Amino acid sequence: KVEDPTMMRTVNWEPWPYLADLAHDFAVEREVIILKGKQLGLSVLVCGYSLWLILFHSNVKILFMSSSQDDSWKLLSKAQFIYKRLPPFLQKKQLLDRKDGISFDNDSEIKALASTAKAGTGWTGTLVVRDELDFHPYGKENFSNISPPIDAGMGKMIDLSTVDPWKDPSQSHFVERYLKAKSGESNAKPVFLSWGLRPHRDPILTNEEWFEQIIKKKYSPLEIAKLYPTTEEEALKPGST
């Protein structure tokens, strides 16, 4: 079960094809970098994957990083929501249940941190999730803090983000990481996800009607290109404010 706050309800998670493909990537790749449109269900997917690691393995250490402390707590709350609605036979004994971290009796945990200059220093673990990375104020500094432990072992990193419409792409740590993955300069797997991949966004309107009647009337062309891109080129094209 997952939350759907826009419709004020709890729903069954739907394994849309692009989410199933990503779940496979998470399992087989060391690093995945996802350039995406808004509201594609990826935060729920990374929370579900994180819980799978914890519930079916031991000594799992996971770090959720977001642009602010509040955003990192919100991401962790999605994992907590999913966990508390699992059948009892899948659950572990929970030792810690706080808004900034949860832990279990199999020596596994998830911590939620904001992107600060020193965030991730001294961390060693299994998985780092950097949610909406292009909006992190210290993304590049955090990368230097958390990458060495991943390089030295079997840890994983998932970077996911829309493109910040107001940031110069040449100054973007996320865009730099994505382009290096695309060119083969890094071992990370790049993934682009168009806004239109999600099967339905409105209970009445088709995706095309929703885009024309709501998105185009609400946002500037620059914001649409970055937050609801149809193509990778559109998302990465330098804009003008």
The model's confidence at residue 89, banded by pLDDT at 50, 70 and 90, is very high
Confidence (pLDDT) at 8: 60
The mean per-residue pLDDT over the stretch 78-91 comes to 95
Does residue 240 surpass a pLDDT of 70? Answer: no
Q: Are 157 and 128 in contact (CB under 8 A)?
A: yes
How many CB atoms sit inside 10 A of residue 38's CB?
Answer: 15
Mean pLDDT over all residues of the chain?
A: 93
183-222 pLDDT, tens digit per residue, is 999 999 999 999 999 998 888 999 999 999 999 999 999 9
Task: List, in sequence order, every residue forming a beta bridge with 10; answer none if it has no partner.
Answer: 3
pLDDT of residue 148: 87
Give the pLDDT score at 45.
Answer: 97
- Quick one: pLDDT at residue 122? 86
Region 214-233: mean pLDDT is 95
pLDDT reading at 60 higher than 90: yes
Please choose, from the candidates 217, 73, 234, 113, the residue with its C-alpha nearest in 3D space to the C-alpha of residue 163: 234
pTM of the predicted model as reported, rounded to 2 decimal places: 0.93
154 vs 145: which has the higher pLDDT: 145
Region of 144 on the Ramachandran plot (φ > 0 left; ψ -120 to 50 alpha; else beta): alpha
Q: What is the per-residue pLDDT for 241?
A: 44
Tokens 């804009």 appear where?
Answer: 239
pLDDT at 1 over 80: no
Dihedral (CA of 200, 206, 212, 213) sign? negative
Say yes or no to pLDDT of 47 above 60. yes
- pLDDT single digits (tens) 98-138: 999 999 999 999 999 999 999 988 888 899 999 999 999 99
Residue 67: predicted pLDDT = 96
Residues above pLDDT 90, as percent of the chain: 82
Q: How many CA atoms lie within 13 Å of 181's alpha carbon, on the beta-carbon side?
A: 20
Residue 82 has what pLDDT?
95
